[in-house]
Amino acid sequence: AKQGMRGGLLWFSPSMSSASRQRLSLLNDLELAIGGNQLTVHYQPQIELQTGQVIAVEALVRWPLPDGQLIPPDQFIPLAEQSGLIIELGEWLLDTVCKQIATWRDQGLGGLRVAINVSMVQFNHDGLIDLLAEALRRYLIPPELIEVEITESVAMRKPEDVIARIDQLKRLGVQVAIDDFGTGFSSLAYLQRLKADRLKIDRAFIRDMGTGETSIAEMVINLGHKLGIRVLAEGVEFPAQAAILRSLGCDEAQGYLYAKPAPAELLTLWLQETGQ
């Protein structure tokens, strides 16, 4: 065995697989990067389809290496999630985002909402509500300028717990979005109890629109509107997709067609240039 139990403790032998070694070293580096304030956040605009106005941005974390290369979140978020490091990462992210909201306010770009991604471990963590409340207080941010995104798969985990947690978030005044929507099997009755502000149609269904397959997007838009929930399409890359979404009555869109995720300074310039 390359790895096993001895005296009830996990031990690592010199012959431990290189995959496990890499994992450990990556975790170690990630912990240092979080503590050393080395992670960075990119922001991607969300556009109102009728007016073309930017109504919000989504915060997406990146890990810059010394050579300037950026590690995408898919390559370290799952590991952070498994190890519990995601809690520290989430605290850092929330502080960074709230500081940025305060900066935008000072630059006359107040009122821009920021959506943050909250993973399963973070969503279930007891400290979540206090953490949010404290960050909002620290930077004097109105709660409606923060939106918490949870994926549909997280939302379907333990219905009663999820409903209770979303109620807490709503009482705090932050908004709630259901991310990657359409991949799970949420029922109409359950969605009604969730009281989300926004459904985000998963990118896969927007991609399918290229082949003429619009039924899932259409279903999510109608479902959302029946329940008074706004619907945003993710991963919009082509004008034809935006046109179809507009004709289906979709409220908002996000994707490379409008802007790629970018550092706050670039986004600020872009917002000023486009007169937002």
155 within 8 A of 185, measured Cβ to Cβ: no
46 contacts ligand C2E (rule: CB under 6 A): no
Q: How far is the CB of 119 from Ca ion (least distance, A)?
A: 10
179 contacts Ca ion (rule: CB under 5 A): yes
217 within 8 A of 209, measured Cβ to Cβ: yes
**Separation of alpha carbons 26 and 200, rounded Å:** 31
Site for ligand C2E in 165-224 (CB under 6 A): 179-180
Q: Where would I find the H helices in 107-173?
A: 120-124, 128-138, 152-155, 159-172
122 contacts Ca ion (rule: CB under 5 A): no
Nearest to ligand C2E of 16, 262 (CB atom): 262
Label residue 236 exposed, middle or buried (CB < 10 Å: 0-12, 13-18, 19+): buried
The three-point CA angle 117-118-120 to 5° equals 140
Q: Which residue is nearest to ligand C2E (CB)?
A: 255
Give the containing element (helix H, strand E) for 206.
helix 203-208
Nearest to Ca ion of 149, 197 (CB atom): 149
117 contacts ligand C2E (rule: CB under 6 A): yes
The three-point CA angle 124-46-230 to 5° equals 65
119 contacts ligand C2E (rule: CB under 6 A): yes
Instruction: Select from 256, 263, 272, 274 the one that contacts ligand C2E (CB under 6 A).
Output: 256
- Record the tokens describing residue 108, joined without a space: 């006359």
Q: How far is the CB of 188 from ligand C2E (least distance, A)?
A: 23
Per-residue exposure over 206-225, b if at least 16 CB sit within 10 Å of its own CB, e if not: bbbbeeeebebbbebbebbe
Q: How far is the CB of 126 from Ca ion (least distance, A)?
A: 23
147 contacts Ca ion (rule: CB under 5 A): no
- Contact range with ligand C2E by CB under 6 A, out of 4-12, 152-160, 219-227, 255-263: 255-263
Site for ligand C2E in 228-247 (CB under 6 A): 235-237
Backbone angles phi, psi at 238, to 5 degrees: -125, 145
Quote helix, strand, coil % in the chain, to nearest 5: 50, 20, 30
Label residue 188 exposed, middle or buried (CB < 10 Å: 0-12, 13-18, 19+): exposed
x/- mask, ligand C2E, residues 69-108, rule CB under 6 A, reads ---xxx--x---------------x---------------
Q: Which does 72 bind (CB under 5 to 8 A by kind): Ca ion, ligand C2E, none?
A: ligand C2E
Instruction: Select from 147, 149, 251, 252 the one that contacts Ca ion (CB under 5 A).
Output: 149
44 contacts ligand C2E (rule: CB under 6 A): yes
- Contact range with ligand C2E by CB under 6 A, out of 25-33, 184-192, 248-256, 262-270: 248-256
The three-point CA angle 21-25-29 to 5° equals 170
Task: Give the binding site for ligand C2E (CB under 6 A).
Answer: 44, 60-61, 72-74, 77, 93, 117, 119, 179-180, 235-237, 254-256, 261
Task: Give the binding site for Ca ion (CB under 5 A).
Answer: 117, 149, 179-180, 234
